[in-house]
Amino acid sequence: MAAFLTASLSIRPAAGGPFPSGPEWGGPRAAPCLLGPPAACGRFGAPASEGRGAGGPPARKNQRVSDVAVQLETRGLWEEFHSLGTEMIVTKAGRRMFPTFQVKLLGLDPLADYVLLMDFVPLDDKRYRYAFHSSSWLVAGKADPAAPGRIHFHPDSPAKGDQWMRQIVSFDKLKLTNNLLDDNGHIILNSMHRYQPRFHVVYVDPRRDSERFAHENFKSFTFAETQFMAVTAYQNHRITQLKIASNPFAKGFRDCEPDNW
């Protein structure tokens, strides 16, 4: 099942915001939106580029994933954080994301089985530091050695397409850590590095030789507004204020030390 991770996804940092832009970001251009006019692109995640090789044609997709579309929930909140430069806490024990990554799925085969999962990829090869005098992130050097790549399976996987489409799919169990020796299955990230969450829909192919068709049986999505900087402590005080104001589980932390939000 992990064979689909060999596909390459094109990711581009969003324009504007408190993060630097320009040649230092480099990298490939983002995949064009395949869901129609810009209004549709605004509602649904743009499918990541899934060609078999650089410059090659997109891999042919199984009809059970070819029409899948994904809508990001609480988009307005994500955009509010994104405008400030989203930061996500990573700890040795693991910290849950806020905002929580939640999506609504369309276009699944109601009777087919699907696995839903996420992974996180660096947006560039840089390490950053926060300049408090200018409230902005600056490049501090080359990225640290890449953390072990991991994927997070939604705990309800596998499930029928009908079940996935009936509900909001929430990855509220996912935790981020900076512990390279973590044995709890948390997503391992480097602090002061910038990441793009990726969401994958994988069709559970019942054929005995399904491994031959692994590249056809998944579809991947990215949302630019979910990009974030991994930190061990919030750098931008406006991010801290927005997290406390918008997280219902953080109300009790206004007067005490944050723990699990």
Cα dihedral 95, 248, 119, 8 in deg (nearest 10): -140
Q: What percent of the chain has pLDDT over 90?
A: 67
Average pLDDT over every residue of 137-142: 96
Residue with the larger pLDDT of the pair 119 and 42? 119
What's at 43, amino acid-wise? R
Task: Report how far residue 17's alpha carbon sits from residue 68's, in angstroms, rounded to the nearest whole number.
Answer: 30
Burial class (CB in 10 A: 0-12, 13-18, 19+), 203: buried
Q: What is the model's pLDDT at position 248?
A: 80
Q: Which of 8-12, 75-79, 114-118, 193-197 is least confident?
A: 8-12
Task: Tell me the C-alpha to C-alpha distance, in Å, between residue 96 and each of 16, 139, 187, 214, 259.
Answer: 26, 26, 10, 30, 10
Q: What is the model's pLDDT at position 237?
A: 95
Residue with the larger pLDDT of the pair 213 and 199? 199
pLDDT digits (tens, 9 = 90+) for 229-239: 999 999 999 99
Taken in order of first residue, the domains within the chain and their CATH numbers are 34-250 (2.60.40.820)
Task: Report how far residue 200's alpha carbon sits from residue 222's, in angstroms, rounded to the nearest whole number.
Answer: 9
Residue 153 pLDDT exceeds 90: yes
Average pLDDT over every residue of 29-53: 43
Task: Report how far residue 246's alpha carbon sits from residue 236's, in angstroms, rounded to the nearest whole number.
Answer: 16
Residue with the larger pLDDT of the pair 29 and 161? 161
pLDDT band at 48 (very low <50, low <70, confident <90, very high): low
Task: Report how far residue 155's alpha carbon sits from residue 254's, in angstroms, rounded to the nearest whole number.
Answer: 31
What's at 212, amino acid-wise? R
Average pLDDT over every residue of 48-71: 74
pLDDT digits (tens, 9 = 90+) for 86-125: 999 999 999 999 999 999 999 999 999 999 999 999 999 9
What's at 75, amino acid-wise? R
Mean pLDDT (the chain) is 82
pLDDT digits (tens, 9 = 90+) for 155-166: 999 999 999 999
Task: Report how far residue 127's alpha carbon sits from residue 148's, in angstroms, rounded to the nearest whole number.
Answer: 17
Inter-residue contact 227 to 194 (CB < 8 Å): yes
Residue 13 pLDDT exceeds 60: no
Residue 62 pLDDT exceeds 90: yes
pTM (2 d.p.): 0.79
Cα–Cα nearest to 220, from 202, 233, 206: 202
pLDDT digits (tens, 9 = 90+) for 218-260: 999 999 999 999 999 999 999 999 999 998 876 555 455 544 4
